[in-house]
Amino acid sequence: MALLDAPVAPRDDAAAPRPRVPVWLAVVAASLPMFMATLDNLVMTTALPVVQVDLDATVGQLSWFLNAYTLAFATFMLPAATLGDRLGRRRVMVAGIAVFTLASIAAALSTSAEALIAARAVQGLGAAAIMPLSLSLLASSVPPAARALAIGVWGGVSGLGVALGPVVGGAVVEGVSWQAIFWLNVPVAVVAVPLLLVAVRESRGEPTRLDPIGTLLIGGAVFLGIWGIVHGNDDGWGSAAVVAPLVLAAVLVPSYVAWARRRGADAVMPLRLFRSRSFSAANVVALAFTAGMFGAVFLLSQYLQVVDGYSPLEAGVRTLPWTAAPMVVAPLAGVLAGRVGVRPLLVAGLAAQTTALVWFAVLTEGAASYGAFVPALALAGIGMGLCFAPVSTAVLDGLPDADFAVASSTNSTLREFGVALGIAVVVAVFLGNGGQITPTGYDGAVGPALLTGAAAVAVGLVAAFFLPRRARA
């Protein structure tokens, strides 16, 4: 851990060198805004019943309180990376924090469902400039010797944001009000911005021309793909409102590939990145890992409330052996990644998660008590912790600093896509097996759904074997 005490000299491109700051301070500065963004991804899940009554929202509007954030978040990460490369990553990230904070205030002051949906969409836009740029800024600000550990801590904080979202949401709603969920972001931003300016140096990528056509093609594919996925279970997978956007998204992907071949190095997501075996395999791992695990998290959190009768806060607390474990394990994985390589850690982590999901399927179908779930929850949490940091390290492995923002944005986009895909597919399997959100409606349906999540994670396990044995940088 002494590596985090090593000094790093933050510097602006056109400014004189400033006093050195410890690496740990740079880690905190880059991680704090990212924690805020990941926390708001799931923080509303436990507040939805209260918000529905207060704003007289429909069921469809409830889903859009979550989907508006996810869609904007996933769609605009790559354009934000492009702006960061041109204008300065720290500058764009600070702007993202400002947008996110103002949108949080607007969300807290919302008096209608439509206003809250709009505020959540703007929140997602701000978050798109925070999460991927935080990783690229961190990776370019710390010495190479401390990079794996720093990314490990960053991964742990990311996992903590995901873990505490439902818990914080439930606690704040029960203790204060649903508006307080969004007011919490204001003091965090007030601390985060000056800390970022002091502790993290400015960085830029290779100067390239803007790629509006490529941005529309790849952004449109992500937007339409997630749109179709999140509407599949409600509107029907065979409906025109679902099939049309999914087909169009599938057409836009090869269209972007053809465009990017012509555009070359100026493409918003250069195809040269995929020549890296580590980058390509790590992104397959990230997509499969998030699809399988977060689909299962969504289903099991509902299971604890509906079948076992826990309140939203009680259910969130009982998932902590799973969702909070990455906070401890991810930094350790970051240390080990530099010594043993990322492949052994990812293989072990994905194998643990696959085993845990199969274990969950057996326990839920057998109506086991909560105590029987604890070992499986801990195994899943350890597995997640072994994946968060190594995946981020593998994505950047061997790439020049100039590509960090685009590479991390691509990975973050695929993770968000995986979350939406995983929840939609797991729920579709659940419903397809006769599942209902009732105390007895999970029998015979939750098992196949969780096994589907296990199969998705197993795909990531296979992809992990294609990673290089040792990191190249």
- Torsion over CA: 65, 68, 69, 74 (sign): positive
Q: Establish if 104 belongs to a structural domain.
A: yes
Q: Are residues 156 and 280 in the same domain?
A: no
Q: What is the distance between the alpha carbons of residues 317 and 130, in angstroms, rounded to a whole number? A: 27
Q: What pLDDT is recorded for position 325? A: 80
Q: Are residues 330 and 190 in the same domain?
A: no
Q: Are residues 180 and 329 in the same domain?
A: no
Q: Which of 180, 211, 242 is the last residue of a domain?
A: 211
Q: Are residues 55 and 190 in the same domain?
A: yes
Q: Are residues 338 and 460 in the same domain?
A: yes
Q: Are residues 152 and 278 in the same domain?
A: no
Two tokens at 459? 């795909």
User: Reduced to 3 states, what is the DSSP secondary structure of residue 325?
Assistant: helix
Exposed, middle or buried: residue 237 (CB in 10 Å: 0-12, 13-18, 19+)?
Answer: middle
Q: Provide the residue range defining the domain that includes 86.
A: 20-199+207-211
User: Reduced to 3 states, what is the DSSP secondary structure of residue 437?
Assistant: coil
Q: Establish if 110 belongs to a structural domain.
A: yes
Q: Are residues 181 and 289 in the same domain?
A: no
Tell me how crowded residue 347 is: count the other CB atoms within 10 A of its CB: 19
Q: What pLDDT is recorded for position 263? A: 84
CB 154 within 8 A of CB 134: yes
Q: Which amino acid is at 224?
A: L
Q: What is the distance between the alpha carbons of residues 434 and 446, in angstroms, rounded to a whole number? A: 10
CA 12, chain centre distance (Å): 29
Q: What is the distance between the alpha carbons of residues 107 and 177, in angstroms, rounded to a whole number? A: 13
**Hunting for tokens 């990322």 — which residue is that?**
342
Query: What is the end-to-end Cα distance of the chain in Å, rounded?
Result: 20
Contacts of 292 (CB under 8 A, 6+ apart): 353, 354, 357, 422, 452, 453, 454, 455, 456, 457, 458, 459, 460
Two tokens at 138? 């961190």
The model's pTM: 0.77
Q: Which of 162, 183, 211 is the last residue of a domain?
A: 211
Q: Establish if 217 belongs to a structural domain.
A: no
Kind and range of the H or E run holding 156? helix 144-175
Exposed, middle or buried: residue 324 (CB in 10 Å: 0-12, 13-18, 19+)?
Answer: buried
CB 365 within 8 A of CB 455: no
Q: Establish if 354 belongs to a structural domain.
A: yes
Q: Are residues 275 and 195 in the same domain?
A: no
Q: What is the distance between the alpha carbons of residues 334 and 151, in angstroms, rounded to a whole number? A: 6
Q: Are residues 189 and 273 in the same domain?
A: no
Q: Establish if 78 belongs to a structural domain.
A: yes
Q: Which amino acid is at 135?
A: L
Find residue 7's DSSP bridge partners.
Answer: 22
Q: What pLDDT is recorded for position 207? A: 64
Q: Which of 167, 187, 211 is the last residue of a domain?
A: 211
Q: What is the distance between the alpha carbons of residues 187 and 308, in angstroms, rounded to a whole number? A: 36
Q: Domain of 448: which CATH number?
A: 1.20.1250.20
Q: What pLDDT is recorded for position 86? A: 81
List C-alpha distances in Å: 457 to 144, 162, 285, 310, 469.
30, 18, 8, 28, 20
Q: Establish if 240 belongs to a structural domain.
A: no
With vertex at residue 339, the alpha carbon angle to CA 338 and CA 340, rounded to the nearest 5 degrees, is 105
Q: Are residues 319 and 192 in the same domain?
A: no
Q: Establish if 245 belongs to a structural domain.
A: no
Q: Are residues 194 and 326 in the same domain?
A: no
Q: Establish if 12 belongs to a structural domain.
A: no
CB 286 within 8 A of CB 415: yes
List C-alpha distances in Å: 296 to 39, 430, 454.
18, 11, 9
Q: Are residues 195 and 287 in the same domain?
A: no
Q: What's the total number of domains in the chain?
A: 2
Rg of the chain in Å (alpha carbons): 21
For 356-398, write each residue's pLDDT tens digit. Answer: 999 999 999 888 888 899 999 999 989 988 987 788 888 888 7
CB 166 within 8 A of CB 49: no
pLDDT in tens, the chain (473 residues): 444 544 554 444 444 344 466 777 888 888 888 888 877 776 776 677 678 778 888 766 776 787 788 778 888 888 888 888 888 889 999 999 999 999 999 999 999 989 999 999 999 999 988 887 888 888 777 777 777 777 777 777 776 676 667 677 767 766 678 888 889 889 989 999 998 888 888 887 666 677 788 888 888 888 888 788 777 777 888 898 889 999 999 999 999 999 988 887 778 788 888 888 899 999 999 999 988 987 887 788 778 877 888 776 777 778 888 877 877 787 788 778 778 888 999 999 999 999 999 999 999 988 888 889 999 999 998 998 898 778 888 888 878 877 777 888 888 888 878 877 887 788 888 888 888 777 888 888 889 999 999 999 999 999 999 998 765 54
Contacts of 314 (CB under 8 A, 6+ apart): 304
